[in-house]
Amino acid sequence: MGFLTMYAVLHPTSVVEISIAVLIPLLPGVLVSGFYADQLKTWYAKTLRKSSLHPPLWVFAPAWTVLYFCMGLASWMVWQQGGFMNQTIPLAFYGSTLVLQWAWCVVLLKHHRIDWALITAVVLAAFQVSTFLEFAKVVGLPAASVLMGPVCIMCLLILAINYDLMVKNPVRRGSGAERDEHHSVLGGSLTPLVMTPEK
């Protein structure tokens, strides 16, 4: 389904469907980012060493809002071609990318694990590119490039930022309260590692 076809089928029911499709990624994304806003402003912004090329934090909220809209619209276009039963693979990839995006925030901002977040970012980037390719088969390369291309670029940017954080904030063994906290996260089975700025 291209853009012209999409416009041709738009009617009140389609508007409702598109709104739901956009809210599926948008609402959880807003909730997750809002829940960890304090960690973003304190631990992430003030504690971690970052490259001078690191984008300002205020850029991400409006950027992700636009991207969530594009993702939702693209998913609706795919869903229009037979629903989940006929588009299981592309929509399953899409759902996986949403879960991985939210998981990355939790791993980084709640558990302060830059190493685990980097692994999550690698998997996210791979799934996002796969989603782009699967969507392109359904809606066409031009539509997929416009709607999902920027999302792929953002995921690659996240991967680059995460790698930069990993390099500038090496893994060190925790002690005291930090060690106990991360030890409980791992279920007590492994000696935990925490992320602390290099001194």
On whether the CB atoms of residues 151 and 161 are closer than 8 A, the answer is: no
Q: For residue 70, is pLDDT > 90?
A: yes
Confidence at residue 22, expressed as pLDDT on a 0 to 100 scale: 95
Query: Are 187 and 146 in a shared domain?
Result: no
Residue 94 within any structural domain of the chain: yes
Asked if residue 110 and residue 185 are part of one domain, the reply reads: no
- Please indicate, yes or no, if residue 38 is contained in any of the structural domains: no
Q: Which positions ≥6 away from 82 have C-beta within 8 Å?
A: none
91 and 107 share a domain? Answer: yes
171 DSSP β-pair partners: 195
**pLDDT: is 15 or 183 the higher one?**
15
Q: 6 pLDDT exceeds 90? A: no
Q: What is the mean pLDDT of residues 140-157?
A: 96
Which residue, chain included where needed, has tokens 């991400």?
60
pTM above 0.75, yes or no: yes
Distance of alpha carbon 118 from alpha carbon 115, whole angstroms: 5
Cα–Cα distance list, 26 to 8, 30, 50, 94 (Å): 25, 6, 27, 14
What residues contact residue 73 under an 8 Å CB cut-off, 6+ apart?
A: 18, 21, 22, 147
53-57, 98-102, 143-147: least confidently modelled range? 53-57
Give domain status of residue 26, yes or no: yes
- Say yes or no: 64 and 151 in one domain: yes
Residues spanned by the domain of 124: 13-32+60-168
10 or 143: which leads in pLDDT: 143
Residue 35 has pLDDT above 60, yes or no: yes
Q: Are 128 and 115 within 8 A, CB to CB?
A: no
Verify that 113 and 19 share a domain, yes or no.
yes
* 151 and 177 inside one domain: no
Residue 48 lies in a domain: no
**Are 136 and 177 contained in the same domain?**
no
Give pLDDT, residue 95. 97
Distance CA 127, CA 100 (A): 9
Tell me: do 83 and 137 sit in the same domain.
yes
Query: Does residue 7 sit within a domain?
Result: no
Same domain? For 189 and 137 the reply is no
pLDDT number for residue 188: 37
Contact 117, 108 (CB under 8 A): yes
**Average pLDDT of 46-56?**
90
- The Cα–Cα gap between 143 and 77 comes to 9
Residue 179 clears pLDDT 90, i.e. is over it: no
Using one digit for the tens of pLDDT, what is the confidence trace for 74-106? 999 999 998 888 999 999 999 999 999 999 999
Total structural domains within the chain: 2
Please check whether residues 103 and 163 belong to one and the same domain. Answer: yes
Give the helix, strand, coil percentages of the chain, each rounded to 5.
80, 5, 20
